[in-house]
Amino acid sequence: MKLVWLTDLHFKSSGKQHRHDARLRLTAAINYVNQHHADAAFCVISGDIADVPTEENYADVAARLQALRMPFLPLTGNHDAREAFAAHLPLPEGRQPEFIQYAISQNGARIVCLDTLAVGDDAGSLCNARLGWLDDQFTQDSTTPTLVFLHHPPMELGHPTLDPSRLVQGDALLARLTAQPCVKQIFFGHVHMNADGVVNGLPYAALKAVIFQAMPASPAWNWDSFNPPEEAPEVGVIRVENGRVSLKREAFCDAADGVDPA
């Protein structure tokens, strides 16, 4: 199975964020994916679909995402709102009631999408109901090679500005995932930068955002002093073959595209 992966659209129907135009960035991403990866089974979008969760923003971004040549699988992030999200974005049948959690199996692999939105908080959360749903997925199928997507990282990444808003129940999630040999890798957004590693034997990956990237940990910075670096956004290309997972990152536009001069 082949997937394309995008994260952190932070879509707004008007205006810009830190000089970045979310509409132009999204168009560039869609055009690149359609040109180079139209054979992908799905496009997974790991959260922060909207920057401000208004009906207008969700209606607009949903219409634009219809241009993708493959079905897309959207996840919630801390900038999203479930009710408006679910009202406008297509979701698979059988998702967990009250949450945006679902699993898709195809071509000998399974995608599990988790909902780590904690209303009113930048950090992520997985309540007992959501963790229980995940347990049920492994009770039903503990053998199919599985990729797990979520918005918030479940571990510290060594970045003092970003680590405080990780998944609060990260240890509980990792304990469940590392106990399941069928789980091959976890993928998350939120941090607006690439990251790769292994935790308790389980590989993980983060991806650059569609909208703009975060700065390195040093020199120290906070959101009041934040100024996005000049880095190109990327799409992840994931392949699952015979239980093996590969990830390749590709820039879908130049760093200056969709950005006003400083």
- pLDDT over 90 (residue 211): yes
pLDDT digits (tens, 9 = 90+) for 129-160: 999 999 999 999 999 999 999 999 999 999 99
- Asked whether the predicted pLDDT for residue 223 surpasses 80, the reply is yes
Helix 55-65 and helix 22-36, axial crossing angle in degrees, nearest 10: 20
Distance CA 115, CA 118 (A): 9
Q: Give the residue carrying structure tokens 């607009």.
A: 60
* Joined tokens for residue 72: 């897309």
CATH number of 2-251: 3.60.21.10
| Across 1-10, average pLDDT | 98
Per-residue pLDDT, 162: 96
pTM higher than 0.75: yes
Domains of the chain, by residue range, sit at 2-251
> What's the confidence (pLDDT) of residue 155?
97
CA-based angle 47:91:65, to the nearest 5?
A: 65
Q: Does an H or E element contain 73, and which? A: strand 72-74
Specify burial of residue 213 (Cβ count, 10 A radius: 0-12, 13-18, 19+). Answer: buried
Is residue 262 very low, low, confident or very high in pLDDT (cuts 50, 70, 90)? confident
Q: d(Cα 27, Cα 121) in Å, to the nearest integer?
A: 29
Q: Is the pLDDT of residue 181 over 80?
A: yes
